[in-house]
């Protein structure tokens, strides 16, 4: 009965939390952003405290430096990116039309002729395909643009978020100690261990992946702008930022930049190959240098699970859901692994209790053989 009450309690707590996020998601953005900012900057505050700076002074220094850096970057990049975005949206229909003409009358016609597709059918099929793709990309850009407008136009985001981050960062250690005091005494060691695993997973992924996104965005932007690709700065930074979702950022950036490169450079195919090479090098750097060094291999977030969590939480709770998707996915992953380990150690898995209850004279060696085999397979 005690186990059932605990299960009901935690299920009810989770349901109340989900209902709270769903009901108040329109106003939670500055608070969630402030909490995320405080969480990300807490290690910096701890290091400043270690060198003798008081917590209040460390908090003020960190937030002032962060806000100034954010404002400087925003003032330097926002006008350029805004102009490129406006130009890209204006030129997008012409790019789609030019790409359709290039495919139907250029190199693509030979391939389709070998497949037995006539010229009119080819033009109709390509036009339909590009029209659907353009509609999808246009809808995506509109969604991102609307989200960006909401993100940048809501004054509370710039006013409330720093205030929330300041107070949370100032009281972070005291809040953690207070929550630790609420833990049930008989389970506090287990809860603390799970909390440390969650913190390691969230911090390892978020802090590392944010660094990877910025570095990839800078690499793609500089590389595409250096080869003279139209809208190269916008495409490169966008591909880097969307790289927070594994494989999606690079794939989307490659598709958009390749389409622009074909329209701009064809038949100068070496320039198109250079654009492809930039993304190939970027993927090599991400997979072999940036991810292992900055994110590590022990985060415990599978890319497929991460993508599902981002889409699911974004669908349920909007932009706020995407902000909490990664920590929620990490926590669920830790709890799932803990539940699986408990199951593997229980008689429900080993069957020892069933054998003893039924009176079957099972060989103890045979009973213990299965767990050893499974353990070796996992190792």
State CA 180 to chain mean position distance: 29
User: Which residue reads 């030129």 in tokens?
Assistant: 91
Kindly state whether residue 356 falls inside one of the protein's structural domains: no
What DSSP string runs through 165-183? HHHHHHTHHHHHHHHHHTS
pLDDT tens digit string along 208-259?
778 888 888 889 989 988 888 888 888 888 888 877 766 677 788 888 888 8
Backbone φ and ψ for 351, nearest 5 degrees, come out as 80, 5
| pLDDT given for residue 147 in this prediction | 47
| pLDDT given for residue 338 in this prediction | 86
Kindly state whether residue 311 falls inside one of the protein's structural domains: yes
Q: Based on the fold, state whether residues 118 and 226 are members of the same structural domain.
A: no
pLDDT tens digit string along 182-217?
887 777 888 888 888 888 878 777 777 788 888 888
Q: Based on the fold, state whether residues 151 and 265 are members of the same structural domain.
A: no
Residues 61, 64, 66, 68, CA torsion sign: negative
Rounded to an integer, what distance in angstroms lies between the CA atom of residue 37 and that of residue 35? 5
State CA 233 to chain mean position distance: 21
CB–CB of 45/169 below 8 Å? yes
Does the pLDDT of residue 52 top 80, yes or no?
Answer: yes
CB–CB of 215/248 below 8 Å? no
pLDDT band at 111 (very low <50, low <70, confident <90, very high): low
CB–CB of 45/59 below 8 Å? yes
Domain count, the chain: 2
> What's the rounded mean pLDDT across residues 21-49?
84
> How many angstroms separate the first and last alpha carbons of the chain?
36
Rounded to an integer, what distance in angstroms lies between the CA atom of residue 298 and that of residue 211? 17
Q: Based on the fold, state whether residues 137 and 222 are members of the same structural domain.
A: no
CB–CB of 278/227 below 8 Å? yes
Q: Based on the fold, state whether residues 195 and 162 are members of the same structural domain.
A: no
Does the pLDDT of residue 149 top 50, yes or no?
Answer: no
Helix pair 55-105, 29-50: axis angle to 10 deg: 130
Q: Based on the fold, state whether residues 167 and 45 are members of the same structural domain.
A: yes
Rounded to an integer, what distance in angstroms lies between the CA atom of residue 301 and that of residue 327? 10
> What's the rounded mean pLDDT across residues 347-351?
78
Rounded to an integer, what distance in angstroms lies between the CA atom of residue 212 and that of residue 291? 7
Note down the domain range covering 339: 187-348
CB burial of residue 212 (10 Å; 0-12, 13-18, 19+)? buried
Rounded to an integer, what distance in angstroms lies between the CA atom of residue 256 and that of residue 234? 11
| pLDDT given for residue 246 in this prediction | 66
Q: Is 363 helix (H, G, I), strand (E, B) or coil?
A: coil
List the one residue out of 140, 124, 32 whose CA is nearest residue 88. 140
pLDDT tens digit string along 275-329?
889 988 988 888 788 877 777 655 566 777 777 887 888 777 776 777 778 788 8
Q: Which helix (H) or strand (E) holds 27?
A: none
> What's the rounded mean pLDDT across residues 11-28?
83
> What's the rounded mean pLDDT across residues 55-72?
87
CB–CB of 21/320 below 8 Å? yes
Question: Is the model's pTM score more than 0.85?
Answer: no
Q: Based on the fold, state whether residues 31 and 163 are members of the same structural domain.
A: yes
Q: Based on the fold, state whether residues 199 and 119 are members of the same structural domain.
A: no
> What's the rounded mean pLDDT across residues 265-271?
80
CB burial of residue 135 (10 Å; 0-12, 13-18, 19+)? exposed
In Å, how far are 147, 210, 235 from 242, measured between CA atoms? Answer: 14, 10, 10
Q: Based on the fold, state whether residues 230 and 149 are members of the same structural domain.
A: no
Q: Based on the fold, state whether residues 145 and 217 are members of the same structural domain.
A: no
> What's the rounded mean pLDDT across residues 60-75?
84
Kindly state whether residue 178 falls inside one of the protein's structural domains: no
Q: Based on the fold, state whether residues 113 and 231 are members of the same structural domain.
A: no
Q: What is the CA radius of gyration of the chain?
A: 26
Rounded to an integer, what distance in angstroms lies between the CA atom of residue 320 and that of residue 303? 20
Rounded to an integer, what distance in angstroms lies between the CA atom of residue 318 and that of residue 178? 31
Q: How many helices (H) and strands (E) does the chain have?
A: 15, 0
CB–CB of 290/216 below 8 Å? yes
Does the pLDDT of residue 150 top 80, yes or no?
Answer: no
| pLDDT given for residue 176 in this prediction | 86
Higher pLDDT pick, 90 / 68 = 68
Q: Based on the fold, state whether residues 236 and 162 are members of the same structural domain.
A: no
Both tokens of residue 23?
A: 């009901």
Kindly state whether residue 110 falls inside one of the protein's structural domains: yes
| pLDDT given for residue 326 in this prediction | 77
């Amino acid at each position: 009965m005690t186990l059932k009450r605990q299960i009901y309690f935690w299920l009810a707590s989770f349901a109340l939390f989900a209902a709270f996020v769903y009901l108040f998601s329109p106003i939670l953005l500055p608070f969630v952003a402030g909490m995320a900012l405080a969480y990300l900057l807490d290690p910096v505050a701890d290091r400043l405290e270690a060198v003798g700076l008081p917590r209040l002074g460390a908090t003020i220094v960190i937030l002032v430096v962060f806000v100034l850096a954010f404002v400087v970057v925003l003032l330097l990049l926002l006008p350029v990116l805004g102009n490129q975005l406006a130009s890209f949206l204006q030129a997008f229909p012409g790019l789609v039309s030019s790409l359709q003409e290039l495919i139907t009358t250029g190199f693509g016609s030979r391939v389709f002729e070998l497949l037995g597709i006539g010229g009119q059918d080819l033009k109709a099929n390509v036009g339909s395909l590009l029209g659907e793709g353009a509609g999808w990309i246009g809808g995506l850009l509109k969604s991102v643009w609307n989200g960006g407008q909401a993100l940048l136009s809501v004054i509370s985001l710039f006013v409330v978020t720093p205030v929330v981050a300041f107070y949370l960062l100032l009281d972070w250690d005291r809040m953690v100690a207070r929550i630790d005091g609420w833990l049930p005494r008989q389970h506090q060691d287990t809860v603390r261990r799970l909390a440390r695993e969650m913190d390691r997973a969230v911090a390892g992924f978020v802090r590392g992946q944010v660094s990877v996104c910025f570095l990839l965005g800078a690499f793609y932007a500089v590389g595409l702008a250096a080869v003279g690709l139209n809208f190269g700065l916008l495409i490169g930074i966008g591909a880097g930022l969307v790289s927070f979702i594994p494989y999606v950022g690079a794939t989307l950036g490659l598709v958009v930049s390749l389409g622009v490169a074909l329209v701009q450079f064809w038949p100068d195919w070496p320039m198109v190959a250079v654009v492809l090479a930039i993304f190939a090098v970027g993927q090599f750097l991400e997979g072999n240098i940036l991810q292992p060094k900055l994110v590590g291999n022990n985060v415990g977030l599978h890319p497929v699970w991460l993508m599902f969590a981002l889409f699911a939480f974004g669908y349920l709770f909007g932009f706020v859901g995407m902000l909490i998707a990664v920590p929620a996915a990490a926590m669920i992953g830790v709890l799932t692994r803990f539940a699986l380990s408990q199951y593997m150690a229980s008689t429900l898995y080993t069957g020892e209790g069933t054998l003893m209850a039924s009176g079957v004279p099972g060989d103890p060696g045979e009973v213990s053989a299965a767990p050893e085999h499974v353990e070796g397979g996992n190792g």
